[in-house]
Every structure is written in C-alpha cells, then in structure tokens.
Amino acid sequence: MLWFPVDRTLPTSLTVQVYEQMRIRILRKELHEGERLPSSRELASQIGVSRNVVLEAYERLLAEGYLEVRPQSGTYVAAGSFLRSSEPERTDAPVSPARSPVVGEDGIDFRAAHPATDYFPRAVWARIAREVCLDTPERAFGYASAEGTPELRGVLARYLLQARGVRCHPEQIVVTSGATQALHLITELLSEGKQARIAVEDPVTDEMRTIFTYAGASLQPIPVDDKGILPEKLDEFAAPDFIFVIPSHQFPLGGTLPIQRRIQLIEYARRTGCCIVEDDYDSEFTYEGVPVHSVQGLDPERVIYVGTFSKILSPALRIGYTVLPARYVETYRRLKWFADRHTSTLEQLILARFMEQGYFDRHIRRMRKIYRKRREALVTSLRRHLPEAQILGESAGMHLVVELPDQRFTERTMRRIHEAGVQVYAVEHYALLKGKHEHQIVMGYGGLTADAIQEGVVRLAKALRGAAHQG
C-alpha cells in the first residue's frame, strides 16, 4: 500500500506535497518502473486528502513523464524515470519537524505540546493590546534593543524567581522568538565557530534535535528512564560543550528529574567545564505535588535557562526567553541582533502588562484545571478501552506516554492507526538509538476536548485490535 504523510500546517499546497512525495519515490526507485499506482480514490483515502488533490498531482506527474496511463488498466510508473543517486544515501538525515503527519478533516490528532488555543484569553489580550497601542510612547514603534523590553524582562525576572526558583537580574534575560530561536542561538554561542558537541536526552524532542543538527552539531545520546536523564551515562573523557535537558517534564517520556540527579548533573558540568541548557517549556502545568524548582536556581553560573510562552499562552506569540550567566549576555545579545534585531516590541509590552496586572497567574490557574480535566479524560478512556496500557509521565505537562508491552508500534501499525482517523506518535521516532521504545507512544491532550479524546482512544483501541487480528 502506498502511504505518506501530508502536513496541513505547511504553506505548500496539498497537491504539491502529494506530487513531490510521489516524484521523489519514483526518482529513488521506491516506486518501480511499470508499477501500478493505486487509483486516485484509493490513494486519497489512504493519505486523508480529497480525490481532486490526488488527481491534480497525478496529472502533473503524467505531464512531466513520470507516469503513464494504460487504457482500461490504470496508471503506471513510466520507464526511465529512476535517477541513480550520485551521492551515498544518508541514513542519519535529521528528522524534519515539518514531517509530522496530519490526519484528515475529522481526524483526531494527539499532537504533543499543543496548547488549548480555544482558551486563549482573547478579550483581555485585545483590551490590553488596544491600551498599549494608544498610550505607549512613540519611540516604542521604532527599532528597539536586541535583548527585549525592560518592562517584560523586569516582570519576567520576578515571576521566574517566585514560580521557578530562577535566580537572575533582568539584565541576564534576552527575549527571543520562542524557545526555538533561543536554542538555535545557544548552539551558536557555545560552539564558538567549531562543531558543537551536545549531550542530549535520548529520546528527545525532534524539533530541538533538528535545531542542533542543522547547526552542524554532533549529538551524544544519553539514556533516559522514567525520571529523566541518567547523568552517570555522561562521558567523563569527552565532555560535550553543553548538556541539553528538560528536567521538569522530559519530552517525550515525561519524567521529573529528582534532586540527586540534578546535583549529579551540576557536579559533572563543573568537573568537565561544560554548560547545562535547561528547557523549561511546560512546567507550569504540574498536577501532582508542587512544581520542582529549576536546575538554574541550583547553579546560575553553569546553567542557561530557556522558557517560552508557547505552551502557557500561544505559540502564535513567538515569545520565549533565555536566562544567561552574565559572561554570555553581551555575545548572546549580538547573536540575537544578527538573527532578527529583536522580537516584536508591541507583543512584549502587551505580555508585560498581562503579567503585571495578574492575568497571567489567573490564566495559568485556569489552564491547569482544563488540562487536568483533559488528562483525566484521556487516562479514564485509556483504562476503559486499553486496560493493558501502562501510563507514564502523566503528572505534568500536556502529554503522556502509553506503553503496551504486547504491541510494537511499527510503521505498519502507525499507518493502521492513522487510517482509523487518529494520530499518535511513536516514541521510537524521537529516539536516537533505535529499538528501545517500540512499545510506547506519545499522546498529547492539551489541544483536544474531552469528547475528542474519548473518540480518539476508541479509534485507537479499534485499530490496535484490528492489527492484532491481522497478526
């Protein structure tokens, strides 16, 4: 069966995506000369697009000679359309974050780290935006300094100390376009023009991994268990430039790093002279116990702390921040300036007022309740429809991991689940060293209503039972 993902979040049209995916497969001989293609109707239903999209893609491939139509028989891959590669195949190609597949119109996507955008505080935001626009001095509408507005950095420093135990002066904060840019700039900062060596948790978020590999860094995978990274596995003899960790809610496995391991990490960093980069992207949403304070608070001189408003408020804001030891601040500001001069001043001013006036804390409290309910809906549905499932990492954040000891989430199984109109994510996809997480999937619930969650689990269970029957 022919199957490939399409991504509705990309600016590229679905027709062009289908055309490109097929063209590449023909050129690489994954679709062989003389091979009969599925009908447009079949392919459309397999990949979750309308038939017209496939028809248009087929027409273009026909016009360019990749395909031929045999009357009364079907559409075939034309002869002579395979191009031998002039370079050896790369097997370690970084995973593009844009590759995440999307299910069709009525599909249910358990995408991790997607916040409940239906609860964005639109009315308050709009009111503050209006106020900022009308009463902000004219100079705010010109170019600003790279590190961000003093208003936002000031309120952020106070918030971080109180909520996350982050110890810093506002001057140590640089506002960035999300954690994505923050991590890209950190890689530049710490690699100092040479190839960076980065120790990363394995498995690790593919987006962050891609940022590092695109910057040319080499990665040292460090295994993770249900509590997070295992610091004793760090290499004593080949220290990295930095260790990238998500200690408050590891992605994807969801562990919260115990204090003993946090101390071990810091001791390692001190011994070997490397930095720790702490990504604290969703720790505000802790449902059991109180949120554990940051690693940064334990050693502000060794740790670069990265945060974002993408999960608490919305990824559309594109506002994140980096808290740096003083020695790095000037260079980091320069790197930020070269990247995009500065993040939108107006958005920063709105956000600063939103925080200053108490709406931020209120929003977090409200969202915590909503995510807790969504989490309960998912856990309850899993217990009912997949009672054999073990659930990991559900104490915080907006995703959890489901482990089914008798089920391997192979590409075939994932396709079957996708065909059932539900999208879940194999932990194996996030692993650098393959073969250790084949029984686990990630399910994000932040962006789904309780009804959608229930329906999604029903579809998942049905797809898995179907797969078991087929062997």
Ligand X SMILES: Cc1ncc(COP(=O)(O)O)c(C=O)c1O
Does residue 320 sit in helix, strand or coil? strand
**Residue of the chain from 15, 17, 81, 308 that contacts ligand X (CB under 6 A):** 308
Six-digit token pair at 331?
């260079």
Q: Which of 81, 180, 248, 296 binds ligand X (CB under 6 A)?
A: 180
Shortest distance in whole angstroms from residue 401 CB to ligand X: 14
Q: How far is the CB of 180 from ligand X (least distance, A)?
A: 3
Q: How far is the CB of 470 from ligand X (least distance, A)?
A: 34
Residue (60 or 318) nearer to ligand X, CB: 318
Residues 421-450 that bind ligand X (CB under 6 A): none
Minimum CB–partner distance for residue 251 and ligand X (Å) = 4
How far apart are alpha carbons 457 and 36 in whole angstroms?
35
Distance CA 278, CA 322 (A): 10
Helix (H, G, I), strand (E, B) or coil at 284: coil
| CB-side neighbour CA atoms (13 Å) of 256 | 20
Beta strands in 47-157 (DSSP E): 67-70, 74-77, 108-109
**Is the CB of 318 or the CB of 439 nearer to ligand X?**
318
Q: Does 294 bind ligand X (CB under 6 A)?
A: no
Minimum distance, C-beta of residue 343 to ligand X, in the bound complex (Å): 11
Provide, rounded to whole angstroms, the least separation between the CB of residue 307 and ligand X. 8
395, 249, 294, 245 alpha-carbon torsion, rounded to 10°: 160
Q: Tokens representing 388?
A: 């054999």
Q: How far is CA 284 from CA 24, 26, 159, in A?
A: 43, 47, 12
By CB under 6 A, which span of 174-182, 226-234, 341-349, 463-471 interacts with ligand X? 174-182
Residue from 207, 284, 347, 394 that binds ligand X (CB under 6 A)? 207
- Tell me the C-alpha to C-alpha distance, in Å, between residue 82 and each of 31, 34, 85, 376: 9, 11, 9, 51
Q: How far is the CB of 320 from ligand X (least distance, A)?
A: 4
Does 17 participate in binding ligand X (rule CB under 6 A)? no
Minimum CB–partner distance for residue 97 and ligand X (Å): 8
Residue from 178, 297, 421, 446 binding ligand X (CB under 6 A): 178
- Residue from 148, 315, 393, 447 touching ligand X (CB under 6 A): that is 315
Establish if 279 lies at the interface with ligand X (CB under 6 A): yes
Minimum CB distance to ligand X smaller for 312 or for 464: 312
Asked if 109 contacts 441 with a C-beta cutoff of 8 angstroms, the reply is no
Cβ atoms of 10 and 17 closer than 8 Å: yes
What is the radius of gyration, based on Cα positions, of the chain? 24
- For the bound state, the minimum distance from the C-beta of residue 246 to ligand X, rounded and expressed in Å, comes to 5
Should residue 246 be labelled a site residue for ligand X when binding is judged by CB under 6 A? yes
CA distance 146 to 339: 10
Q: Which of 15, 205, 413, 440 binds ligand X (CB under 6 A)?
A: 205
59-98 mask for ligand X (x: CB under 6 A)? Answer: ----------------------------------------
Instruction: Name the minimum Å distance from CB 346 to ligand X.
Output: 19
Can you tell me whether residue 318 is helix, strand or coil?
A: coil
Asked if residue 137 has a cis previous peptide bond (ω within 30° of 0), the answer is no
Report the greatest alpha carbon distance in the chain: 74
Residue nearest to ligand X (CB): 178
Q: In 50-145, where do the E strands start and end?
A: 67-70, 74-77, 108-109
**Distance (Å, whole) CA 423 – CA 444:** 10
Applying CB under 6 A, does 113 fall inside the site for ligand X?
A: yes
User: Burial level of 39, CB count in 10 A (0-12/13-18/19+)?
Assistant: middle
**Considering beta carbons, is residue 125 or 244 the nearer one to ligand X?**
244
State in angstroms the smallest separation of the CB of 416 from ligand X: 26
What is the DSSP code (8-state) at residue 140?
G
**Is residue 208 near ligand X by the rule CB under 6 A?**
yes
- Residue 320 as a binder of ligand X (CB under 6 A): the answer is yes
Which of 151, 103, 115 has its CA nearest to residue 420? 103
Residue 243: closest CA among 271, 219, 259, 224 = 219
Minimum Å distance from CB 308 to ligand X?
A: 3
Q: Does 202 bind ligand X (CB under 6 A)?
A: no
What is the total count of residues that contact ligand X (CB under 6 A)?
A: 15
Considering only the stretches 86-94, 142-150, 176-184, 447-455, report the one whose residues sit in contact with ligand X under the rule CB under 6 A: 176-184
- Give the C-alpha separation, 304 to 282, whole Å: 17
Cβ atoms 213, 219 nearer than 8 A? yes
Q: Which of these ranges, 139-147, 190-198, 308-316, 395-403, lies near ligand X under the rule CB under 6 A? A: 308-316
Q: Which residues bind ligand X (CB under 6 A)?
A: 113, 178-180, 205, 207-208, 246, 251, 279, 281, 308, 310, 315, 320
